[in-house]
Chain A
Amino acid sequence: MSKTLTLAQPAIEKQVRQRSLWIDAFDRFRRNKMAVGSLAFIIFVLLTAVFGPIISPYDPLRQNLLDVAKPPSMAHWFGTDSLGRDYLTRVMMGGRTAFLVAVVVTTITTVMGVLIGTSAAYWGRWFDNLIMRLTDIIMAFPHLLLAMFIAGTIRPRFLDLTKSITWLRGTGVADYLVVFGALAVVSWPGYARLIRGQVLSLVHSEFIAAERMLGASSWKIMRDHLIPNALGPVIVALSAQFGGAMLLESSLSFLGIGIQPPGASWGNMISDNLLTWRYQPHLLAIPGIVLTLVVLAFNFLGDGLNDALNPRARR
């Protein structure tokens, strides 16, 4: 009896020791059905957004005025819009916009947030003060109002700029650039503050002091110790940021200052069909429901990641 125990124990210990923090987190995440389901849904929508318009027999811009505002049918699964365009293809194009904006904006804000937040916390003093007051100012404005303000003021100038570049003319690239810029400006402060808080709690820990005493450069300490250790909450925030960027993009497009027709965005599809809601409610409801489901999925994914990566914060 005692012999088998002594034999078995080292084997278990060995196995336990090999499990890294990340594998542990992955295991915890896998057990959360809601989060896994959300992830699957997000991947599904992403795939349809990327490949759907290619597979679809309809051109998202091709108008067919004989087939205007048809309810869903076998030929057009989501029906057709008021210009006779296949609505399913339009919704998938809207998905492209949403994911493109989310990926670009999240990348910009993450890079900005990590760089600015880490350096603010690391160097402290006046630099920290400056950055924190700057974020205070930006965060004092309601997010949407500030994004509207920025998009509204830089839009005309950007349009002028792209008009002078021949290959950009009429492509709608300017709309995307305006949205990227506006969303990045309103989103980075939250990120930078989060990272700063994380790094501040690490900077004064003993292993950083030891590293510094061993003569490591600031850059090496940041890269090898501060950023990896602050990564958990950042990944969680990433998921929320993704959903948030999609929501803001749709909001701006809904208000007519984001993506402009004929470009497709779930936001401008809703506002385009607002006046005819009595006669074609499905045109209004479909993009709204898709947008809500995707944002909801990102929220559940974020919750799942939070439980997996920050086990100490669990209720």
Chain B
Amino acid sequence: MRLLIPQDVNPDQATIDRLRHQYGLDKPFLVQLRDYLTNLAHGNFGSSIALNRPVGSALAHALPISMQLGLAALVLIIIVGIPLGVITALKQNTWLDYTILFGTITLSTIPPFVLAPLLMILLILKLHILPSTTGWSGIFSVKAILPVVTLAVGPLLGVVRYTRFSVIEVLGQDYVRTARAKGLPMRAIIFRHILPNALTPVVTSLGLTVAGLITGSIFLENIFGIPGFGQLAVNSITGNDYQVILGTTIVGALLVIGSNLIVDVLYGLLDPRVRLQ
């Protein structure tokens, strides 16, 4: 309780006791734990002390914003990452392959909190391509460009590598050789025979990007001043708002577990061979 009170305020014992009672902190530890878990099972995350509102409503306000950012980044990852992966696989071991791989490895290594400022300096300060962008006014505004691009860069490497690996594997299959022997044009082989088979496993790698997107949003929302999930999480920790800390951490884990589950189910739908008997 002492942690929540600003240092220059010196409350008397009665006030502390009243606040302890109000937040249920005077109960034994196990009772508090039971209450929290019971509430959690009913979808109630408790209430934030700093924001003076239920954690659930704070999350309901913040999550959609982060979801939009994340989905936009995911779309960008798909339309950039998969073609790059296919190109590297088809041009395997050429300079193009090495350049793309080297480039994505380097880009993905740059942490988001370094990449975002560097892009800001380059694009806004030096090249004047974008106007200054902080704050949030919807996903379709100019302000969203930098956050989405930066968010997409981190998980890109995994998708490119996975696509490359999986296309290379399919390239060596007998049916591709047959298609070639029949004299089909390369374009038809790629789109009809290689891609449908190669892209199924790529779905898995897309599911794995969710953790990366959450991590990225934590930094980017703080840099760009976007009132989403990541900002809520950081503010709660720097402000010792423990109910929100718990809530955001649990929701973060649920998102990762949920996306893994969706991927597993999707995988079964896409590829009948991996279905459970």
Q: Which of B18-74 contact A (CB under 8 A)?
A: none
Chain B positions within 8 Å of A146 at CB level? 249
**Docked CA distance A288–B110 (Å):** 8
**Docked CA distance A31–B109 (Å):** 24
**Docked CA distance A296–B252 (Å):** 27
Known: A270-B117, A284-B121, A289-B114. A144 touches B109 (CB 8 A): no
With an 8 A cutoff between CB atoms, is A189 at the interface? no
Q: Is the interface of A mostly helix, strand, loop or mixed?
A: helix
Known: A144-B215, A146-B249, A281-B121. A251 touches B113 (CB 8 A): yes
**Docked CA distance A141–B219 (Å):** 17
Number of A residues with CB within 8 Å of any CB on chain B: 36
A233, chain B: closest CB distance, angstroms: 19
Q: Which of B61-119 contact A (CB under 8 A)?
A: 105-106, 109-111, 113-114, 117-118
Closest to B242 in A: A153
Total number of residue pairs linking A and B with CB closer than 8 Å: 104
**Docked CA distance A282–B70 (Å):** 30
Q: Which of B101-149 contact A (CB under 8 A)?
A: 105-106, 109-111, 113-114, 117-118, 120-121, 125
25 contacts between A and B (CB under 8 A): A141-B249, A142-B253, A143-B215, A144-B218, A146-B249, A148-B218, A148-B237, A153-B242, A156-B3, A247-B111, A251-B111, A251-B113, A255-B222, A256-B234, A257-B238, A267-B113, A270-B113, A277-B120, A277-B125, A278-B125, A281-B117, A285-B117, A291-B114, A292-B111, A299-B105
A3, chain B: closest CB distance, angstroms: 45
Chain A positions within 8 Å of B120 at CB level? 277
A4, chain B: closest CB distance, angstroms: 40
Known: A141-B256, A145-B214. A270 touches B106 (CB 8 A): no
**Docked CA distance A148–B242 (Å):** 12
Q: A255-B218, A281-B121 are in contact. List 14 more A-B contacts (CB 8 A).
A: A140-B253, A140-B257, A142-B211, A142-B252, A142-B256, A145-B253, A149-B237, A251-B113, A256-B238, A267-B113, A270-B114, A281-B125, A289-B118, A295-B111
B181, chain A: closest CB distance, angstroms: 27
Chain A positions within 8 Å of B226 at CB level? none
With an 8 A cutoff between CB atoms, is A191 at the interface? no
User: Hey, what's the 0/1 contact readout for B225-241 against A, CB within 8 Å counting as 1?
Assistant: 00000000110111010
**Pair B245/A153 contact, Cβ less than 8 Å:** yes
**Pair A296/B242 contact, Cβ less than 8 Å:** no
With an 8 A cutoff between CB atoms, is B150 at the interface? no
B16, chain A: closest CB distance, angstroms: 16
